[in-house]
Amino acid sequence: MNLETIITHSPALIVAVPLLGAFLTPLVGKINDKLRNVFVILTVGLTTFFVFLLANDIFSSGNIRTYVFGGGTPITDGGFAIRILFEVDGLNAFMAIIASILALACVIYSWAFMKENTGLDKYYTLILLMVAGMFGMILTGDMFNFFVFLEITSISSCVLIAFWTNKGKAVDAGFKYIVISATGALFILFAIAILYSQYNALNMAFLANSIQYTFLDKIALVLLIAGLAMKAGIVPMHMWLPDAYGRAPSSVTLILVGATQVSLYGVLRMTFTLYGSQLTIPLKQIGDTSITMNGLLGITLIALALITILVGVLMALKQTDFKRLIAFAAVGEIGYIVLAIGAGLTAMGTSYGNMAFRGGIFHIINDALDVGLLFLVAGAIYYATKQTSLNQMGGLSRNMKYTTVFFLIGLLAVAGMPPMNGFASKLLIYQSTYQVNPIIAIVAILCSILLLAVFVKVFHSAFLGPKLPKFKDVKDVPKSMLLAMGIIACFIIFFGLFPEFVVNNLVKPAADAIINNTNYITTVIGGAVP
Amino acid sequence: MSGMSKIVKTISSITFPFVTIYGLYVIAHGHLTPGGGFQGGAVVASGCAMILVAYGSVWTMGKIKEKHLSVLESFGAIGFIGLAFLGLIFGTMFFKNFLVGNDFLFGEIGKGLSNISTAGALPLMNFAVGLKVIAGLFGIVLVMAYTTKAKGGKIE
């Protein structure tokens, strides 16, 4: 079996290996707890290996890889697109890299963090199921398959949010999450049904080729964006997010951050690949100005994004619970991504529109890493002191040296300070939104400064100050947790020091996949696209 | 949950084999008739739930533990994924139906019984799903019945 064979089969293996591992975990757990932990880390490690192999191939060659389950061609003889298909282009590979980094950090972190809990067989099974669901959502090229993996992700993450059932509020947060995500999933299912009834196909490339942009299609687009925005936590639908992020175990929160980003990927894929060729068609002519779909959608998204940023940052200012504070900051960070997508939509086709897409996509990976690192630090502090309230903490930098350094890295990155990765992507977003409207860029910069203020306050109240007597015996966290935080911190510093390299090699292929959907369609359909 | 009267117990014992056989029939013919692994599994699991209601959860828990059911469930899921992996190993693609077009699975019997072996690996996948659904659904019902027992205050 040579390398080419492995790369050919890796789209299927990336989903299949965690799925097989998930069901083997309870059996391995019967033998030994340590063996089970090693087994889970090996499973996720193998998946990460496949992801990087596949991503390396996609980014270096620029090809799009398809994988048809059960063999055969994607389109059968009569022109029916009935086979289940995985299609991997630059955007898919980019998202898969994010998911794999987060998954690997999560399982390494869990070794020490979850050691004192019972029911860990089920915990690891659900983690692997959630990872498999996330990869499925990322890699699939089939609408209904997307829905199925979305449901797998939301059901397993609901149970994981409520994992600490002895803390009653966790169950409450889990219930809130399942209600919101079930509603969102129903929206998406309805949209898929609308598309299927018109075009008799579920294949994304086939649909994108034959879409007519009827009235029903517009309804489907709105439903898809609304459903996925619920899962992503954009402001009117954000109330589940602080509860879920705040109450779940920190290792779970890390993967939840990934699941949120994957929902944003869904928005990008649905809007730009499915409706890509029809977005610039004028809707209505009023006097000299014609209203186009991309302008309307873009302005709506920009408005939502600005509210999201403001609400997220202002709510973060007044929180005293550490994890809840980071959760509101995460809401604000998602706002920046949506802002970039909206700005790119309004200015579609121009050079700064493309720059906005690049900034937005780059910010997806930066947000996942920065917020993820902060959540891991919050988990580490909880592990060491059993405190979540900022009012009870103080002077922790004297006992927890490494954790303090990691928090400082996360703080600078999330606030967009120059040596870290957050700066590179936020600069791209500011530059491009300034061209759309200077006020947007000003609000974005102001909120970023406020975010810095929030985290400086946290840094002061938790880490600085005199040594508190009650934390006299506190030690730094075990090695596995430090290793997990270290992996993410390394990526943050690397992306911050070489943004040019990352933008050219990782972000640009992904942004090109958004801007132009022709390759995505021709790979499956073959021949000319009308 | 305690057991019910002798009449209910007797009738449940008599009907249980019929329900089970019907469920197994639906699983085995999943590729030929409406239904399949999930539907047949649900039928068998509801038969088990009937026994559970008639005899009570304490008696049933004495016969079969929920731990064993969860192991069975894992085996069902592993069987399904494993068959998909076998498609990759013996065939060309993941989920490739590597057994289709030969009589390896049921041999001469398959030809006799209305050509049962026409679908290659699909019956095996149906068996795996059926096993998972039987064990999973029955496990859920069993645990729910067993934990509600304490609410009434008396254990029988």
Question: For the residues of A212-275, what is the DSSP string, one character each?
Answer: ---HHHHHHHHHHHHHHHHHHT-GGG-THHHHHHHHS-HHHHHHHHHHHHHHHHHHHIIIIIIS
Q: How far from A216 is each of A220, A291, A345, CA to CA, in Å?
A: 6, 19, 21
Average pLDDT across chain B, whole number = 84
Longest dimension (CA), chain A: 77
Q: How far from B135 is each of A107, A298, B81, CA to CA, in Å?
A: 28, 50, 17
Q: Does B46 touch chain A (CB under 8 A)?
A: no
Residue A330: the pLDDT is: 92
Residue B117: the pLDDT is: 66
Amino acid at the residue A225: I
- Report H helices in A291-350: 293-317, 322-346
Q: What tokens appear for A317 in the block?
A: 């200012």
| CA atoms of A191 and A229, how far apart (whole Å) | 14
Which residue of A16, A30, A70 is in closest CB contact with B96?
A70
**Of the candidates A523, A521, A505, A520, which has an alpha carbon nearest to the alpha carbon of residue A61?**
A505
Cα torsion A77, A79, A84, A90 to 10°: value is 110
Amino acid at the residue A180: I
Query: Using CB atoms and an 8 Å cut-off, which of residues 51-90 of chain B contact chain A?
Result: 70-71, 74, 77-78, 81-82, 84-85, 87-88
Chain B residues with CB under 8 Å of A70 CB are 87, 93-97
Residues whose CB falls within 8 Å of the CB of residue A15, separated by 6 or more in sequence, listed in order: A86, A132, A135, A136, A139
Which residue of B70, B82, B97 is in closest CB contact with A70?
B97
pLDDT higher for A179 or B118? A179
Asked if the structure places residue B106 within a domain, the reply is yes
**Start-to-end C-alpha separation, chain A:** 40
**Of the candidates A302, A370, A371, which has an alpha carbon nearest to the alpha carbon of residue A337?**
A302
ipTM over 0.90: no
SS3 A450: helix
Chain-chain contact of A23 with B78 (C-beta, under 8 angstroms): yes
Chain B residues with CB under 8 Å of A22 CB are 77
> What residue in A sits closest to B121 (Cα-Cα)?
A70
Q: How far from A32 is each of A27, A40, A111, A120, B136, CA to CA, in Å?
A: 10, 12, 14, 12, 24
Residue pLDDT, tens place only, A405-416: 999 999 999 988
Domain ranges of chain A: 293-497
Strands (E), A129-242: none
Long-range contacts of range A222-225, CB-CB < 8 Å, 24 or more positions apart?
Answer: A223/A187, A223/A188, A223/A190, A223/A191, A223/A194, A224/A187, A224/A188, A224/A191, A224/A266, A224/A267, A224/A270, A224/A271, A224/A274, A225/A267, A225/A270, A225/A271, A225/A297
Residue A420: the pLDDT is: 86
For tokens 């055969």, name the residue: A72
Chain A residues with CB under 8 Å of B82 CB are 20
Asked if the structure places residue B1 within a domain, the reply is no
> What residue in B sits closest to A25 (Cα-Cα)?
B74
- Report, as an integer, the average pLDDT of B16-23: 95
pTM passes above 0.90? yes
- B78–chain A nearest CA distance, Å: 6
* Domain count across chain B: 1
Q: Does A24 touch chain B (CB under 8 A)?
A: yes
Using a 10 angstrom Cβ sphere, with 0-12 exposed, 13-18 middle and 19 or more buried, the burial of residue A184 is: buried
For B45, the domain range is: 6-152
Chain-chain contact of A71 with B88 (C-beta, under 8 angstroms): no
* Percent of the residues in chain A that have a pLDDT greater than 70, as a whole number: 99
**Is-contact A258 A252, C-beta < 8 A?**
no
- B3–chain A nearest CA distance, Å: 30
Half-sphere exposure of A530 (CA within 13 A, CB side): 7
Chain-chain contact of A23 with B92 (C-beta, under 8 angstroms): no
Give the A:B interface size as CB pairs under 8 Å.
47
**How sure is the predictor about A529, in pLDDT bands with cuts at 50, 70 and 90?**
very low
When scoring A9, A17, A20 by the number of chain B Cβ atoms within 10 A, the one with the most, hence best to mutate, is A20
- Report, as an integer, the average pLDDT of B112-118: 63
Chain-chain contact of B84 with A16 (C-beta, under 8 angstroms): yes
Q: How far from A57 is each of A65, A97, A512, A517, CA to CA, in Å?
A: 9, 13, 17, 20
Residue B104: the pLDDT is: 67
Q: Does B31 touch chain A (CB under 8 A)?
A: no
> What residue in B sits closest to A68 (Cα-Cα)?
B93
pLDDT higher for A2 or B74? B74
Chain-chain contact of A26 with B96 (C-beta, under 8 angstroms): no
Chain B residues with CB under 8 Å of A26 CB are 70-71, 74
Residues whose CB falls within 8 Å of the CB of residue A397, separated by 6 or more in sequence, listed in order: A404, A463, A464
Q: How far from B2 is each of B59, B60, B61, B135, CA to CA, in Å?
A: 8, 10, 12, 22
Residue pLDDT, tens place only, A345-391: 888 878 888 899 999 999 999 999 999 999 999 999 999 888 888 88
| CA atoms of A254 and A125, how far apart (whole Å) | 16
Q: What tokens appear for A243 in the block?
A: 């509860």
Which residue of A24, A67, A70 is in closest CB contact with B78?
A24
**Which of the given ranges, A33-47, A293-307, B51-65, B115-129, has the highest pLDDT on average?**
A33-47
Residue pLDDT, tens place only, A217-276: 889 999 999 999 998 888 888 889 999 998 899 999 999 999 999 999 999 998 888 888
- Report, as an integer, the average pLDDT of A140-155: 93
Q: pLDDT at residue A20 above 50? A: yes
Residue B12: the pLDDT is: 93
Inter-helix orientation angle A401-414/A351-385, to 10°: 160
SS3 A102: helix
Asked if the structure places residue B68 within a domain, the reply is yes
- B17–chain A nearest CA distance, Å: 30
Chain B residues with CB under 8 Å of A30 CB are 71
| CA atoms of A188 and A133, how far apart (whole Å) | 16
SS3 A67: strand
The secondary structure of residue A203, as a DSSP letter, is B
Q: pLDDT at residue B152 above 70? A: no
Average pLDDT across chain A, whole number = 89
| CA atoms of A110 and A102, how far apart (whole Å) | 12
Residues whose CB falls within 8 Å of the CB of residue B134, separated by 6 or more in sequence, listed in order: B23, B41, B44, B45, B48, B72
**Is-contact A112 A481, C-beta < 8 A?**
yes
Q: How far from B18 is each of B51, B54, B142, CA to CA, in Å?
A: 13, 16, 21
The secondary structure of residue A469, as a DSSP letter, is G
Using a 10 angstrom Cβ sphere, with 0-12 exposed, 13-18 middle and 19 or more buried, the burial of residue A215 is: exposed
**How sure is the predictor about A45, in pLDDT bands with cuts at 50, 70 and 90?**
very high
Residue A185: the pLDDT is: 93
Which residue of B74, B84, B91 is in closest CB contact with A71?
B91
SS3 A482: helix
Which residue of A26, A27, A71 is in closest CB contact with B92?
A71
SS3 A65: strand
Chain A residues with CB under 8 Å of B74 CB are 23-24, 26-27
- B124–chain A nearest CA distance, Å: 16
Q: pLDDT at residue A341 above 80? A: yes
Residue pLDDT, tens place only, A455-468: 998 898 888 888 88
- B26–chain A nearest CA distance, Å: 24
Q: What tokens appear for A84 in the block?
A: 């289940």
Q: Does A494 touch chain B (CB under 8 A)?
A: no
**Is-contact A274 A207, C-beta < 8 A?**
yes
| CA atoms of A259 and A368, how far apart (whole Å) | 10
Chain-chain contact of A27 with B71 (C-beta, under 8 angstroms): yes
For tokens 């590597």, name the residue: B98
Asked if the structure places residue B52 within a domain, the reply is yes
Chain-chain contact of A12 with B85 (C-beta, under 8 angstroms): no
> What residue in B sits closest to A16 (Cα-Cα)?
B81
Window from A140-154, A472-486, B142-156 with minimum mean pLDDT: B142-156
* Percent of the residues in chain B that have a pLDDT greater than 90, as a whole number: 42
Q: What tokens appear for A80 in the block?
A: 């029916």
